[in-house]
Amino acid sequence: KPVLGIESSCDETGVAVLRWEPDAPGRGLLAHALYSQVKLHANYGGVVPELASRDHVRKLLPLVREALTEAGLTPADLGGVAYTAGPGLVGALLVGASAARAMAWALGVPAIAVHHMEGHLLAPLLEDDPPKPPFVALLVSGGHSMLVEVKAIGQYHILGDTLDDAAGEAFDKTAKLMGLPYPGGPALAKLAEQGTSGAYRFSRPMTDRPGLDFSFSGLKTQVLLAWQKSDQSEQTRADIARGFEEAIVDTLVVKCRRALDAAGAERLVIAGGVGANRRLRAELAAAGERDGFRTYFPRLQFCTDNGAMIALAGAIRLAAGQQQDETVQVFPRWNLETLPPAA
Annotated binding site for substrate: 139-143, 172, 185, 277
Q: Which does 274 bind (CB under 5 to 8 A by kind): Mg ion, Fe ion, ligand ATP, none?
A: ligand ATP
- Residue closer to Mg ion, measured from CB, 10 or 136: 10
The CA distance from 302 to 3, in Å, is 18
Binding residues for Fe cation: 116, 120, 305
Q: 141 CB contacts (<8 Å, ≥6 apart)?
A: 117, 120, 166, 167, 168, 271, 272, 273, 274, 304
Site for ligand ATP in 127-166 (CB under 6 A): 141-144
Task: Please answer whether residues 260 and 270 qualify as being in contact, where contact means their C-beta atoms are separated by less than 8 angstroms.
Answer: no
Q: Does 165 bind Mg ion (CB under 5 A)?
A: no
Q: Which does 186 bind (CB under 5 to 8 A by kind): Mg ion, Fe ion, ligand ATP, none?
A: ligand ATP
Q: Does 37 bind ligand ATP (CB under 6 A)?
A: no
Which residues share a beta bridge with 34?
14
The sign of the CA dihedral 226, 227, 228, 231 is positive
- Residue closer to ligand ATP, measured from CB, 176 or 267: 176
Binding mask 5-24 for Mg ion (x = CB under 5 A): -----xxx------------
Binding mask 91-120 for ligand ATP (x = CB under 6 A): -------------------------x---x
The CA distance from 336 to 330, in Å, is 14
Exposed e or buried b per residue across 265-297, where buried means at least 16 C-beta atoms within 10 angstroms of its C-beta? bebbbbbbbbbbbebbbebbeebbeeeebebbb
DSSP structural state of residue 324: B
Shortest Cβ 172–ligand ATP spacing (Å): 5
Which residues share a beta bridge with 147?
138, 160
Taking CA atoms, 79 is separated from 14, 17, 205, 319, in Å, by 19, 10, 47, 11
- Residue closer to Fe ion, measured from CB, 19 or 32: 32
Site for ligand ATP in 188-227 (CB under 6 A): 189
Binding mask 272-311 for ligand ATP (x = CB under 6 A): xxx-xx--------------------------xx------
By the criterion CB under 5 A, which residues form the site for Mg ion?
Answer: 10-12
